[in-house]
Every structure is written in structure tokens, then in C-alpha cells.
Structure 1
């Protein structure tokens, strides 16, 4: 059993991936980049520092990258944040971890203010022992910075933790920090995407992981096949 479970938040604890994709797609179009919703959605899980270079050249980033990200941030807060909802069984899953004496951390590419709101929406703010956000890291996922900060705060090594996330970028970032990752399908990526990113096990969502807890990497520490 691991000493700590490190959760992603968007698409893992709360249902927000499509909302973020819509906000990014609207922002890109407003600033002259005709990007489809599907292309924008495929990059959700990265922070803006990693997402913007996918769609903007260096010259475009210098010209309006910051303005576009600020516009997107305001749009998300005003239009989409009120629409974010929790996934089912999230508090129950975290309480099961508490019962097993596993320390609970979150590692999110969101800003701290947004992260606090998400944890309130998910009903788990009082269940989280350690939180890291984009402001704690130089680079966002798929860079390992956020997970490395979480490990430092926890005072453990990567192989003593398990990460839980919904994107291949979570698995890539955690893997670079030496942390095995459980994948969640509830964020919209396929099992193949998650496996290719490095996930050692894949579940439909928090409820399925809770139902299979004892046989999962959270209960056993190892897994090589899909458990649900």
C-alpha cells in the first residue's frame, strides 16, 4: 500500500474538462486562431504554459499570448466555473484512503484560488492533507514539477506514492517524478491514451476505483491490467 495518493483534480475529482476545452477554444478563436473544440480538448490537462505553444507560434505568443490567457481565465470564471460539478463517490474514496492511513494530496495545473473552489465543489477540502497548484511549479504537466513539489511536501519518494489522473499528461508528469499512475476514463481520454501515457491501471471513475479499492494499486501497490 502506498504512503500517499496524489490526485489530479480537473477531470478526476470534478467534471470540468469539456468546460475548460470550451473556454480555450473560444479564446483561441477570439484571438484569430481557428481551433476546433476537439483539438482544444485534446490538450486539456496541460497548463497554459504547455498548451498555448501547441497553437501559437513564438511570435504570436509574444504578441498576444498573455492577453489571450487572461481573457480565457476571465471567461472560464464567469461563464464556466459555475457549471463545474463533482464526480460521484469522491469524498467516499478519500475517506477510504484515510481509513487505510494513506496521506491524501492533490497536484493540479489550476491556480490556487481555482483549486480551492474545486475542492469545495468536490466536497473534499477538509480531506486533503497536501495541495500543490500551478503557482508552486515552474512548468505545468506534462513536466514533473507539480508532482515533485507534492513529493517534497509529503517528504516521500516517488515509489512510495500513487498518482490518480484522467489524462496521459498526468501519467507522463508523474512518471518523470517516479510515481506510478492510475488512469480515470471520466475525463474523456481513452484507455489506450492513458496506457500509452504510462498508466498502470485504468478505471471508469472514482466510484469504480472505490469499489475495487482492495485490488487496486491503492490497496496492493501494483497492477498490470484494467481492474474495472
Structure 2
């Protein structure tokens, strides 16, 4: 029986992934004279920048000073993302979760400050029973630690939860945790090749939570 919904933040609740790609692309163009492709950027979506920087160093011999990069880009990102609305269907979906008396959790590879700030700005933070972030675990996605901690915090079994994700790293993490996943790609992650997911939709507006609850009912239960 479905007891909890676990949502990712970046790219699911607000479209930060597109903003980050634009910021990364602009920085690499100006600082490294390099045109960063979406396919390269996807390495770090749902996880963090280290995977991308390691890959560029290994394959392109492009070396990035992390302190310099974030000193240059963090202000730019905040300026471009401070007024982002919730993505299509997000508010209605979150409201439906609470109407169905389900636990709502956030599990994100981001540090706590960013999702907390945006959820407060959007008036959504009080809907969430817990926020599980990179501050709470040693390993972020694609490792399952964020999801495992979310389940443990509320004593929910992995077969009684469902994850809402936009990235391959998030899907891999959820699969490792043994949780079914709904994929909602964004304008960046739509280029990913997703496999082994429960369902895939273009928007949370298309998700029928009542039907999903029925799918989770034990056989023979009407």
C-alpha cells in the first residue's frame, strides 16, 4: 500500500536544471573557450558538479578550479533562479498528496539552503514532512543514501513509496533503494536515456495519484 511520495527538487519542483546548464555553458565558453554540450552536462544532473569536472579533466584535459567556478557562477545562478515559478502541475500534485493522506518527502542532492529557500518562497515548504538533502548523507545520487534515509526517517518500507525524478542519477539511486520511480523529464534531462522506471510523463499534471494508489494495493483488495 502506498504510504509516501518522495520528490526530487531541481528540475522537478522548479526548473533549475535549465538555468544551471545555461550558467555552466556560458562559463565554459568564456573561461575555457569550450562549448559544453547537454550530453556532457547530464553527467552531473541529479548528482553534483564533481562528476562533470572529473570527466572533462579525463577526456578533454580541461581543468576547473572549483573555488573560481563557484565564485563566478553562484551569483549568476541565484539571479536567474530567484523568480522561477513551480513547474506545471507541481502545486496541484503536492496538494493531491496531502488530500490522499500520504507522507510527502523531499530527497535532493542539493544542500539544504537552496530547496528550503525556494520552497518557502513558493509557499510549499509546510506541505513537506521532511527535507532530506546533501547535508544529511555522505553520498548523494546516484547512491541510494538520500532515499534510504527518507524511508528510515518515517518508517516506510521501500515498496510503500514512490519517487518523482527528472534525472538518470536520481532514477539509478531510487532503483538501488528498491523504490518505484515516476520520471518527469525537463528541457535538459529529456535527452537522457531512461530505463527501468515505473512510469514516465511530460508533466506532473498527467499523474493520477488515485490510480497509483490502486496499483499499490495488495492483490485482492478493492
The TM-score with structure 1 as length reference comes to 0.81
Relative contact order (alpha carbons < 8 A, sep ≥ 6): 1 or 2 greater? 2
**1:138-162 deviation per Cα after TM superposition (whole angstroms, max 9, x unaligned):** 2222122221221222222322211
Report deviation, 1:31.
4.4
Tell me the number of residue pairs that the alignment of Structure 1 and Structure 2 aligns: 215
Report deviation, 1:10.
1.3
User: What is the aligned partner in structure 2 of residue 84 from structure 1?
Assistant: 84
Q: Which residues of 2 match residues 1-228 of structure 1 at below 5 A?
A: 1-32=1-32, 34-43=34-43, 44-57=45-58, 64-77=65-78, 79-190=79-190, 193-194=193-194, 196=195, 198-209=196-207, 212-216=208-212, 218-221=213-216
The TM-score with structure 2 as length reference comes to 0.83
Q: Structure 2: any 5+ residue segments left out of the alignment?
A: 218-222
Report deviation, 1:84.
2.2
Query: For the structure 1 residues 140 and 29, does the alpha-carbon distance in structure 2 shift closer, same or farther, using more than 3 Å as the test?
Result: farther
Report deviation, 1:25.
2.2
**1:142-197 deviation per Cα after TM superposition (whole angstroms, max 9, x unaligned):** 12222122122222232221110111211101111111111113454349723x2x
Give the match's secondary structure for 1:51.
Answer: helix
Contact 1:182-1:199 within 8 A present in 2 as well: yes
Q: Distance in 2 between the 1:65 and 1:56 partners?
A: 12
Give the match's secondary structure for 2:104.
Answer: strand
Contact 2:39-2:191 within 8 A present in 1 as well: no
> Which structure carries more helix by proportion?
1
Report deviation, 1:115.
0.8
Contact 1:137-1:146 within 8 A present in 2 as well: yes
Whichever of the two has the greater Rg, that structure is: 2
Give the match's secondary structure for 1:27.
Answer: helix
Q: Structure 1: any 5+ residue segments left out of the alignment?
A: 223-228
Contact 2:28-2:36 within 8 A present in 1 as well: no
Q: CA RMSD in A?
A: 2.7
Contact 2:161-2:179 within 8 A present in 1 as well: yes
Query: For the structure 1 residues 67 and 201, does the alpha-carbon distance in structure 2 shift closer, same or farther, using more than 3 Å as the test?
Result: same
Report deviation, 1:201.
0.5
Contact 2:13-2:86 within 8 A present in 1 as well: yes
Give the match's secondary structure for 1:11.
Answer: coil
Contact 2:42-2:192 within 8 A present in 1 as well: no
Contact 2:56-2:62 within 8 A present in 1 as well: no
